[in-house]
């Protein structure tokens, strides 16, 4: 019975130790302790943002880490990247390494391989690193905005200054409201003193008087116009006489119309006469032509004293 | 009556042998006479119309030697009126001319004739006389000239060559006056007047002035 209990304890211990050993192996395997790694060297113009253990991503998956980085004698930062053997085929001489510094989150290396079948890179091959600095880009974009904000602030300062126009305007407004509160007239406010306001009032009174005189003048002019109206448009006014003259002219024009009509008639007669003259002329032409032809015939028949040649004088 | 029929028969027979004269030639002869007459009278508008007709008549032939006669007639008429010109219209036609008489007339009126052969036959004698300037002989030549136009041309030639006297102008005046060629008469009267004034014969000059006034005063506007 006692041996049976010892056996059981011994078995338990052995199994426990075995399980602990398995766990440790499992952890080590998971930690790639037994995996072979390949090392690649990257060169960068700056070491800013680079830290040891920084991940190397390929298509969003982590395939390696920054093992170590240092400054060489030429001032270039050399970064040693450790990549497990199983991912090494993703990196060759066509691979491009980019150091990305996002605005939010930590920096990382991203590798892209356009030609997956290119020659594999050996351990001496140094990759050039490109930079994508989101923080600097944002700062560049913000720079003009900050300048504008600064300008606005300066303008606001100028506006609110003691000697600014706005302040002066506000002082004037305050003065006017004070004057209004003391119930001083607008004229006095405009003139600046009471004496000038009094003069203004006197001027207005004088203007009123002048207007009265003008009204009188207009009424006199109206009366004159009435008289003129009587003289021009009255029964024995000028217009009636003009009307009589116009009537007389009209009568004479009517006579003239008759005269013109008779003249037109005479013209028509003359036109007819001209037609007759045309006929007469045609008759005369035909007679002259006949005479001409007769003269030619006579010339042909009668002897002539003319020479056959026309001689110059 | 018998005599009349005899004359008519003779005329008829002559006419049969007279030959045909073209209409343009008959018209040209009439228009030439009319042009000379109206030009000498001084009726410029009529003269211009007759010249156009004359030119039209000659142009019917399309013969340069005939057409040039119109222009030569114009130049000769001017010449007779003591208006001396180069007769440029004819000068342009010279290369086309074949009739030597036409060329002689051109040389005569334009003043380019230098020797007797260059002159028209009719005017060679007067040229010979003017060479030695024998005024008496020249006047004698004019007195024997029956054709008034020819007489005027000869007189004008003598005046041009400064081989004339008052009598020379007198012959022209007489001939023109007889024909009623007022413009010619006045031209030669003016010539005679200037001759008298030049030679100090004021009495005759005054008489001439009065004679000229008879005509000129009538033409003055009121």
pLDDT tens column, A78-116: 999 988 888 888 888 889 999 888 878 888 899 999 888
Select from B11, B12, B15, B17 the residue whose CB has the most chain A CBs within 10 Å, as the one to mutate to test that interface: B15
Q: Long-range contacts for A223-231 (Cβ within 8 Å, ≥24 apart)?
A: none
Please state the φ and ψ torsions of residue A25, each to the nearest 5 degrees.
-60, -45
Structure-model confidence comparison of residues A299 and A37, the more confident one: A37
Residue B79, CA distances (Å) to A170, A208, B83, B85, B122 in order? 111, 101, 5, 8, 15
> Which positions ≥6 away from B139 have C-beta within 8 Å?
B165, B167, B168, B171
pLDDT value, residue B120: 95
d(CA B109, CA B120): 10
Burial of A225 (0-12, 13-18, 19+ CB in 10 A): exposed
d(CA A193, CA A196): 6
Residue B207 tokens read as 């008489």
d(CA B191, CA A250): 69
- A·B CB contacts under 8 A: 47
pLDDT value, residue B183: 95
pLDDT value, residue B63: 95
Q: Are A312 and B153 within 8 A, CB to CB? A: no
pLDDT digits (tens, 9 = 90+) for A221-264: 898 888 888 887 777 778 888 888 899 999 899 889 989 998 98
d(CA A293, CA A110): 127
pLDDT above 70: residue A183? no
Give the DSSP H/E element, type plus range, for residue A99. strand A96-101
Q: Are B15 and A303 within 8 A, CB to CB? A: yes
Q: pLDDT grade, residue B221 (50/70/90)?
A: very low
| Tally of CB atoms within 10 A around B82 | 18
Structure-model confidence comparison of residues A60 and A122, the more confident one: A60
Q: Out of A183-197, B116-130, B166-180, B193-207, which region has the weakest mean confidence (pLDDT)? A: A183-197
- B96 contacts chain A (CB < 8 A): no
Beta-bridge partners for A130: A98
Please give the torsion angle defined by the CA atoms of residues B150, B147, A311 and B97, in that order, rounded to the nearest 10 degrees: -10
- B20 contacts chain A (CB < 8 A): yes
- A298 contacts chain B (CB < 8 A): no
pLDDT value, residue B222: 40
């Amino acid at each position: 019975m006692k041996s049976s209990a010892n056996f059981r304890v011994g078995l338990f211990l052995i199994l426990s130790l075995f399980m602990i050993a398995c766990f440790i192996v499992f952890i080590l395997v998971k930690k790639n302790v037994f995996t072979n790694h390949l090392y690649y060297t990257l060169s960068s113009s700056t070491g800013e943002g680079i830290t040891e253990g920084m991940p190397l991503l390929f298509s969003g998956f982590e395939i390696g880490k920054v093992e170590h980085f240092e400054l060489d004698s030429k001032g270039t930062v050399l970064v040693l990247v450790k990549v497990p053997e199983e991912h090494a085929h993703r990196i060759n001489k066509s691979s491009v390494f980019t150091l990305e510094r996002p605005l939010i989150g930590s920096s990382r290396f991203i590798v892209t391989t356009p030609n997956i079948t290119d020659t594999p890179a050996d351990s001496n091959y140094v990759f050039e690193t490109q930079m994508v600095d989101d923080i600097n880009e944002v700062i560049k974009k913000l720079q003009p905005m900050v300048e504008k904000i600064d300008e606005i602030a300066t303008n606001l300062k100028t506006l609110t200054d003691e000697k600014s126009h706005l302040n002066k305007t506000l002082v004037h407004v305050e003065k006017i409201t004070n004057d209004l509160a003391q119930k001083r007239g607008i004229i006095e406010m405009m003139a600046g003193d009471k004496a000038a306001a009094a003069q203004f009032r006197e001027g207005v009174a004088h203007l009123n008087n002048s207007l009265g005189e003008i009204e009188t003048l207009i009424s006199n002019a109206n009366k004159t116009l009435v008289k003129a109206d009587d003289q021009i448009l009255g029964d024995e006014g000028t217009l009636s006489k003009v009307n009589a003259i116009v009537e007389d002219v009209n009568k004479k024009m009517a006579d003239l119309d008759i005269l013109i009509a008779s003249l037109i008639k005479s013209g028509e007669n003359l036109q007819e006469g001209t037609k007759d003259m045309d006929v007469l002329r045609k008759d005369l032409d035909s007679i002259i032509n006949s005479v001409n032809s007769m003269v030619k015939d006579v010339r042909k028949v009668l002897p002539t004293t003319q020479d056959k040649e026309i001689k110059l004088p | 009556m018998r005599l009349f029929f005899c004359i008519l028969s003779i005329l008829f027979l002559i006419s049969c042998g007279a030959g045909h004269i073209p209409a343009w030639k008959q018209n040209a002869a009439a228009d030439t006479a009319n042009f000379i007459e109206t030009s000498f009278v001084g009726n410029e508008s009529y003269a211009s119309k007759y010249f156009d007709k004359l030119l039209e008549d000659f142009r019917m032939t399309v013969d340069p030697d005939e057409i040039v006669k119109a222009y030569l007639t114009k130049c000769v008429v001017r010449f007779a009126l003591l208006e001396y010109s180069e007769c440029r219209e004819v000068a342009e036609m010279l290369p086309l001319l074949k009739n030597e008489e036409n060329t002689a007339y051109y040389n005569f009126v334009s003043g380019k004739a230098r020797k007797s052969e260059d002159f028209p036959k009719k005017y060679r004698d007067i040229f010979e006389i003017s060479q030695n300037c024998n005024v008496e002989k020249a006047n004698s030549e004019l007195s024997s000239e029956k054709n008034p136009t020819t007489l005027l041309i000869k007189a004008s030639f003598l005046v041009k060559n400064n081989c004339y006297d008052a009598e020379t102008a007198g012959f022209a005046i007489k001939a023109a006056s007889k024909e009623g060629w007022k413009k010619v008469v006045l031209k030669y009267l003016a010539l005679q007047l200037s001759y008298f004034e030049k030679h100090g014969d004021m009495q005759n000059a005054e008489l001439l002035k009065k004679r000229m006034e008879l005509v000129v005063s009538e033409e003055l506007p009121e």
